[in-house]
Amino acid sequence: MSNGDFRDQRIIVTGASSGIGAALARGFAAAGGHVALVARRRERLAVLASELSGGPGKGVVVEADLTEADSAGRVVAEAEAGLGGRIDVLVNNAGIGDYGAFPGTSLADIERMMTLNMNAVVRLTHAVLPGMIQRRRGHILSIASTAAFQPTPHMAVYGATKAFVLSFSMGIWAEVRKKGVGVTCVCPGPVETEFFDRGGFESRKGDFSRVAMSPERVAAEAIWALRGRRTVYVPGWKNKVGAVMQRFAPMRTVTRITGKVLGPK
């Protein structure tokens, strides 16, 4: 495929102010896409939008806290107004983690994570999908995690939110696959981003960083998976092997091993 195969497509990328989202926005814009950059940190989005303005695609800033119940409809409306038409690609990337033994974690923090990682994905998808089906054109790309494939002790709720994203993606894929709309769920392992700077991960940041992929690599593979209309895609061969291996052992065994890997050192 040519580098320009997103030319003039209108794309929403949530969580575009850092990490995988910023890399995805750069990747789509380099291929000619026009990208609505969504996150809370407006100044970062503005810097990225001005960077993109020198290339084949453009970026428009849509400041939003996606945990707010009415944000999804407003984000889509502002994105369509800023980009001048209906959305062709929705990228559900914004997400946060929460590390630590479940009984000691803050319920408020966990519920904010659940709202962002799950509700915002559902609300945004619900806002754009009917139009995509009507036009028989469009794609939903959601970023889950390898945490979606098995329970994740010490990140129990985070893993469950990502299992939700994977299950939801597969469910709607089967509904829309003959209606001209694609659905891709990308499940990265550790990625070198600001993700580990918050959510209680700070003590384990070094361990995750040692095996982390770059956000640019993950974004490039995610765009490749979308172009190929892959349904579920795991970047990196070690992550692919891990995702397959866990299928061959009982869930309790897999969960105990995962708990040893993820537990405090």
Ligand X SMILES: NC(=O)c1ccc[n+]([C@@H]2O[C@H](COP(=O)([O-])OP(=O)(O)OC[C@H]3O[C@@H](n4cnc5c(N)ncnc54)[C@H](OP(=O)(O)O)[C@@H]3O)[C@@H](O)[C@H]2O)c1
The residue from 1, 4, 7, 41 that contacts ligand X (CB under 6 A) is: 41
Residues 20-39 that bind ligand X (CB under 6 A): 20-21, 39
Which position among 66, 156, 219, 234 is part of the footprint of ligand X (CB under 6 A)? 66
Which window, 50-58, 166-174, 186-194, 242-250, contacts ligand X (CB under 6 A)? 186-194
Count Cβ neighbours within 10 Å for each residue of 155-175 and write b for 16 or more, e otherwise: bbbbbbbbbbbbebbeebbee
Q: Which is nearer to ligand X, 44 or 179 (CB)?
A: 44
What is the CB neighbour count within 10 angstroms for residue 19? 21
User: What is the residue-wise DSSP string for 68-107?
Assistant: STTHHHHHHHHHHHHHTS--SEEEE-------S-GGGS-H
Contact string 4-23 vs ligand X (x = CB under 6 A): ----------xxxxxxxx--
Spell out the residues 6+ positions from residue 59 whose beta carbon is closer than 8 angstroms to its own.
16, 25, 29, 34, 35, 36, 37, 45, 48, 49, 51, 52, 53
Token readout for 137 is 């054109």
Contact positions with ligand X (CB under 6 A) in 130-169: 143, 145
Per-residue exposure over 197-226, b if at least 16 CB sit within 10 Å of its own CB, e if not = eebbbeebbeebeeebbebbbbbbbbbebb
- Contact with ligand X (CB under 6 A) among 67, 119, 125, 152: 67
Which residue, 180 or 242, has its beta carbon nearer to ligand X?
Answer: 242
Region near ligand X per CB under 6 A, out of 59-67, 77-85, 102-110, 126-134: 59-67
User: Binding to ligand X by residue 184, rule CB under 6 A?
Assistant: no
Catalytic residue among 149, 158, 168, 201: 158
Burial 88-117 (b: 16+ CB within 10 A, else e): bbbbbbbbbbbbbeeeebeeebbeebbbbb
The answer to whether 102 touches 160, Cβ cutoff 8 Å, is no
Q: In this complex, which beta carbon is closest to ligand X, that of residue 1 or of residue 245?
A: 245
- Asked whether position 220 contacts ligand X by CB under 6 A, the answer is no
Tell me the closest approach of the beta carbon of residue 197 to ligand X, in angstroms. 7
Pick from 59, 182, 188, 235 the residue near ligand X by CB under 6 A.
Answer: 188
Would you call 99 a catalytic residue per the annotation?
Answer: no
Structure tokens at 257: 């091993």
Count of residues in contact with ligand X, rule CB under 6 A: 29
Would you name the residues annotated as active-site residues? 158
* Chain residues that interact with ligand X, rule: CB under 6 A: 14-21, 39-41, 64-67, 93-96, 116, 143, 145, 188, 190-191, 193-195, 215
